[in-house]
């Protein structure tokens, strides 16, 4: 089985998506949830060493800041009105864009669009691309 970043990103997407249905999850519950899925996937690296865990933990720890950015760039859409698939993709991708300096914005955005094609509806990729593009432009302006 391949353990490349795309595969781990897809795995992380699924775990992060499941968080949409849990009320106030603790870090211990997050670890348990992750490891339940992780065992099923039969990865041959530890949770702590996986890129998937970096993404899941990062989104969990930075969700408030990420959600604020989504709200700012989703053109008046409230978070609770954004479909869970798109919200999950945006959280995952914005974490990569803003907290993973080794991931270029374009890579994070392209991966997000691939997730949107695979898991979303016909409008998902356009919506995801629009929010991420606006957030990327904002982040680039802030770094100048």
Could you read off the pLDDT of 72-114 as tens digits, one per residue? 998 878 888 999 999 999 999 999 999 999 999 999 999 999 9
Burial class from Cβ neighbours inside 10 Å (0-12, 13-18, 19+) for residue 78 reads exposed
- Report CA-CA distances (Å) from 85 to 17, 44, 80, 144: 7, 28, 12, 32
**Over 50: is that where the pLDDT of 1 sits?**
no
Confidence of residue 126 (pLDDT cuts 50, 70, 90): very high
Query: How confident is the model at residue 40, as a pLDDT?
Result: 64
Query: 14 and 119 in contact (C-beta within 8 Å)?
Result: no
Confidence of residue 2 (pLDDT cuts 50, 70, 90): very low
Query: 37 and 14 in contact (C-beta within 8 Å)?
Result: yes
User: What pTM was computed for the model?
Assistant: 0.91
pLDDT tens track for 15-61? 999 888 877 778 888 898 898 888 766 677 888 889 999 999 999 99
Residues 63-70, mean pLDDT to the nearest whole number: 94
Architecture, CATH, for domain 5-143: Orthogonal Bundle (1.10)
């Amino acid at each position: 089985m391949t353990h490349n970043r795309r595969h781990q990103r897809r795995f992380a997407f699924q775990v992060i998506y499941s968080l949409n249905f849990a009320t106030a999850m603790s870090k211990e519950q997050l670890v348990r949830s992750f490891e339940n899925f992780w065992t099923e996937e039969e990865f041959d690296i530890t949770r702590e060493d996986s890129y998937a865990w970096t993404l899941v933990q990062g989104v969990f720890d930075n969700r408030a800041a990420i959600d604020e950015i989504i709200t700012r760039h989703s053109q008046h859409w409230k978070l609770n009105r954004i479909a869970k698939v798109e919200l999950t993709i945006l959280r995952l991708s914005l974490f990569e864009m803003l907290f993973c300096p080794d991931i270029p914005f374009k890579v994070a955005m392209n991966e997000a669009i691939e997730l949107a094609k695979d898991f979303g509806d016909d409008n998902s990729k356009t919506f995801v691309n629009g929010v991420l593009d606006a957030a990327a432009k904002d982040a680039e302006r802030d770094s100048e």
